[in-house]
Structure 1
């Protein structure tokens, strides 16, 4: 009997041990577009077994009892993956890999620009547009400035026919009203509004977020028309190494290099290098001036993320840019720099930037963000010298707290700007020394996001800044969001105030060209604006697996004290003054996205706007502002893996700056369109070849865009005692040399070919 009991107990123990031993595991890697995906949830449905992927995209689920399960892979902004699998004695340990696909139009992307904290795009009460690296790869360009040409309501505006500098317009408002951020830091401003938008390595850009309308409540001065926030990749999400090189048949060569490496055990670094070179003078329009500015530019970017206890954030980054660019008469060389024999515009730019974020080790969510940059410019516009130094330091402490239905963000900000140049802007009338501008701008802000009901949110915000030159400025805002339970219908209503303290010489290239004399009419006061907009988002899913997304916005902005350059009162001058009246920007913008299961995707956008200026009872259209803008992108992948991308834009007529009543150049630009096509082929997981044609229609402005290009120093122009041009037989139209009559690039059709290489 005892023997039987012993055998029974032994068998029971053996069976228990066997049952206990019947466990397996699942290991794998996660990636998207060739990059490892960190912080992705991986789990077995209706069980406690799961894991979160690490910075290399690796996950591991251990001690799984034998059986059948449904594995689920999920992350905000990406398509959910579900897969049935079985753990058994035959397959106890599974090794899997998944490629996550970004959701159509990134409807659930994480965004930070609207509220200074990470939220789902669908949950944000502030409408934020998100554009991924994939969007920009459909039309590769050497700079973020050019990449924005296919974003609805955004237009890269060239300001000079000779040196090809420019700025970014949002809903018809000029570049100084657009704030450009890198990782949320106000890096690109002042002098770099004109010269700092190039040289950001595109291989390091994760996404670009765009907010249209005033954002001064969170970002202060300059965020009047809107903001562009360039989000760089986290080192953990970047490939180990990447190279992207392309060239055009004009002779342009652009190279992007990315490299990820470890700094010890607790720091990971991402290095990016961009080099752009163009040294091939071309004059297709026959005006003896270069159609495209020659450039030699290098940019070095490095970002370091530190691993800290409890996943607290600490990141610091830096960038250095050096650029040598010139445009002018075809026979110009460096020996002519600053002389009066051959006209050329030569700009040497040296710029450094550093920025980062540090989360304090406290129970409260406290973040300190900081940035500093220096910009040194040495330039000649013909024989007019312009040298300038600008240094900006910025610090911001933010506190985020959720109390019941209230999600509160508060902050204290300080910004210091030093600016010195050789223009009247910094002359000292009493001494021979300059009087550099030193501006202190401390401020505080608070916003409260209130969850009224599960589908209703109200955002209230207020900011107070004290400008050391102009005193205190208050900027409030209010935002309301409603969404249907399934989030297929979203309504947002916004109202807010913006302001801008202008520095003409750091923002307006026309003031530096030397072709006109700059004059100030009184002391310039800060500009203010009030904006309202209504945004509606609608998503459709049809029975044949077709997706349609509609995003429509109506906007209205009213300006007071606006500073506008007056080109028309005196053709020899640019007169700056505060507007004695008002300026209005209003319009409607619609974006439409469609996608089919067969791989066809169509994105289109249309903006119709009316930007006017009223002074002395007379209302006129703003110069260099289109009334209609359209953009589109069509993408399709064939069965052999070849992808075709067809992108383009369309612009309505703009009012152009003429030199007087006798100027015979058209007063308006024509309707025009820039269209591009590209083919891309992948070879394995590392290689990608792409090429195509830019500016398919070969559109360029009229050949007479530059007035009197044959007399750039106005030697044969006769001036009266009042400074006005006197028409003569040699100059019957009474014109002077003027390169500011520009609305599009003189660069025509061109082919391009590129190669990408990526190592995970």
Structure 2
């Protein structure tokens, strides 16, 4: 494991609650967006408002509190730069992923702002010592012919250019989902048209036995219902191994262009640029200690002519379409062996933010191997999250309240304070070989949460809102982002696995989640936070070449809209979805897969614009040819 600590560790020893998704699980069924797969992890819920692609929430905190990494490098096109997008779990095709490490709980001591909820690190396949490649094709056919079918193609090739010295990796994919027709009895729109394309290349150079240098570039394009985004990245990674430990340095640049903006019926292009440099040094020759320290410099820039020019109709409107912010950080982590079976990890990160000064994010985590099979973990952490570029800029504004012309207008604010959190967890892991499992109790208290839900298009009611600013020249009310009091999320995560003979295996997990907004006189539930959720995965290896599987997912009752008057709250009933999967290996180089998604055809239609659909029964077939 590489995500949960400054130095690589085993899952059992890692100072965090972690779920690993490996290549075998990624290959069970076609995955167009990783959010679909991550929803089967304990502690993970999905934010699905308005039929957008699912966004990952960890332990009841919204998607903005989940840091997405690709090979340890942060992805930056979330609401930090572009309000309302749903792109960040789809930049890497699932076929090119070696594993995904999902770390639940705050990781700000290593990664800084945006990691209050946790981290999802997508780790791509490395270059091998021989040439390998593959091509793949997937097709998903809807049983309801008013719903849109999906097609996907992938390719990959990697290997040595100079044995032991120089290697190359190239991969790419394209997928397309047709738009739904009239699939909802309520008259609400179904799933929109989606298209995703990506290509990646890495050149790896090993100048000596103890040094590696990787140069990587990405070019990606996504079209979600006519909203188009292009992302281009470049990175240079150096790794060194020494008698006293190891070192790593990364230079990274992420340029993302929002080609259409975020307002239906309008073309308002904007673009963001993330530039970062980071490094760390790990000393593992100290007696009973592994000490790591490092730092990071990061600058975020946004160019947005439509939304960064001040209030429409005001003097100087549209004159300054640029904003930026820079922050620097130093971090240290010390893993101390208190006893051969007891390890204490202490860490702290100091971030200096251009607009908010310095903030510490300390963490303490204890791992006790009670015996060969039982591990007890306990942790405490403090974390902070600075307002995003949009939230903190007084010149940034966007239409809202459901209309670009008659709704309301939301703006950034320089009065915002950073959000802070305190988290606790206690867990037990059991590994008895053929069976195992565990459970974790968790709680997070989030203070000064930044919020914009307090808004209305009602011009008479608007002045009574605490974050009301004024009116535009055309009469629309204006509301600013604000710090509200606090949010509490707490609950239980549990998982179990068992081998039923040599060919059968079962894995299951369950999450109980209590997510409450305590900012009001009467506590309110939070949207898209089901109280109960569960997953079961049954696998049968019928023969050396044939495998069959059944996966079932339960999503409990959840709120989709919450109001001051609880009688007006809207909720979605609980439901169960099941998928049937199969794979057949034809020789060494060809694998066929087929099955049914939502086998019972238990479709869930939305009845208002803030709700979402669960698609009905679909049949799929896929092929992968490798060499």
Give the TM-score normalised by the residue count of structure 2: 0.87
Partner of 1:753: 621
Query: 8 Å contact 1:201–1:301 — kept in the other structure?
Result: no
Q: Distance in 1 between matches of 2:63 and 2:292?
A: 29
Question: Per-residue CA shift, 1:200-239, capped at 9, x if unaligned?
Answer: 1222200000111110010011001011001111111786
- How far, CA to CA, are the matches of 1:208 and 1:698 in structure 2? 29
The answer to whether 1:148 aligns with 2:38 is yes
2:529 corresponds in structure 1 to: 625
Residues in 2 aligned to 1:483 and 1:205: alpha-carbon distance in whole angstroms: 31
**2:581 maps to 1:698:** no
Deviation at 1:658, TM superposition (A): 6.2
Task: Name which of structure 1's ranges 224-233 and 691-700 shifts more when overlaid on structure 2.
Answer: 691-700
**Cα deviation, residue 589, structure 1:** 0.4
Number of the residue aligned with 2:276: 394
Superposition deviation, residue 408 in structure 1:
0.5
* Counterpart contact for 2:324–2:389, Cα < 8 Å: no
Match of 1:378 in 2: 259
Go from structure 1 to structure 2 and tell me whether the alpha carbon gap of 1:426 and 1:145 turns closer, same or farther (over 3 Å shift). farther
Q: How has the CA–CA distance of structure 1 residues 239 and 594 changed in structure 2, closer, same or farther, with 3 Å as cutoff? A: farther
Q: Name the residue aligned to 2:71.
A: 183
Asked if the contact 2:400/2:410 (under 8 Å) is kept, the reply is no
Query: How big is the shift at 1:518?
Result: 3.8
The reply on whether 1:225 has 2:117 as its aligned counterpart is yes
Q: Distance in 2 between the 1:669 and 1:459 partners?
A: 41
Residue 401 of structure 2 is aligned to residue 519 of structure 1: no
Aligned equivalents of 1:238, 1:462: Cα separation in 2 = 41
Within 5 Å, give how 1:28-107 maps onto structure 2: none
Match of residue 501 from structure 1: 386
Residues 245/305 of structure 1: CA separation in 2 closer, same or farther (3 Å cut):
same
Instruction: Give the C-alpha shift of residue 506 in structure 1.
Output: 9.0
For 1:172 and 1:185, how far apart are their aligned partners in 2? 24
Contact kept? 1:165, 1:509, Cα under 8 Å: no
Q: Counterparts of 1:628-647 in structure 2 under 5 Å?
A: 628-639=532-543, 641-647=545-551
1:278 CA drift (Å): 2.3
Shift of 1:753: 0.8
Query: Is residue 577 of structure 2 the alignment partner of residue 671 of structure 1?
Result: no
Distance 2:478 2:131 in 1: 49
Deviations 1:144-180 (A, max 9, x none): 222212212213322323xx24421111111000000
When structure 1 is superposed on structure 2, of 121-130 and 354-363 the one drifting more is: 354-363
Once residues 506 and 350 of structure 1 are traced to their aligned partners in structure 2, the CA distance between those partners, rounded to angstroms, is 23
Structure 2 residue 128 is the aligned partner of structure 1 residue 247: no
Q: Secondary structure at the match of 2:452?
A: strand
Q: CA deviation at 1:289?
A: 5.8
Gaps of 5+ in 2: 143-148, 460-476
Q: Distance in 1 between matches of 2:383 and 2:398?
A: 23
Q: CA deviation at 1:187?
A: 2.3
Q: Which has the larger radius of gyration?
A: 1
**Which segment drifts farther, 402-411 or 695-704?**
695-704
* Residue from 418, 421, 443 that aligns with 2:329: 443
Match of 1:353 in 2: 233
Return closer, same or farther for 1:667/1:371 CA change in 2, 3 Å cut-off.
same
Counterpart for residue 199 of structure 2: 300
User: Which of 3, 24, 27 does residue 134 from structure 1 map onto?
Assistant: 24
Whole-Å separation in 1 of the counterparts to 2:606 and 2:14 = 47
CA gap 1:574/1:150 in 2 versus in 1, 3 angstroms: farther
Distance in 2 (CA, whole Å) between partners of 1:351 and 1:512 is 29
Residue in structure 1 matching 2:560, options 656, 676, 680: 656
Give the structure 1 partner of residue 174 of structure 2: 275
Instruction: Report SS of the residue matched to 1:284.
Output: coil
Over 3 Å counting, the alpha-carbon distance change for 1:570 and 1:540 in structure 2 is farther
The Cα of 1:492 is off from its aligned counterpart by: 0.9
- Offset at 1:142? 1.5
Q: CA deviation at 1:267?
A: 1.3
1:658-687 Cα deviation digits (max 9, x unpaired): 6897998x7211011222111111111111
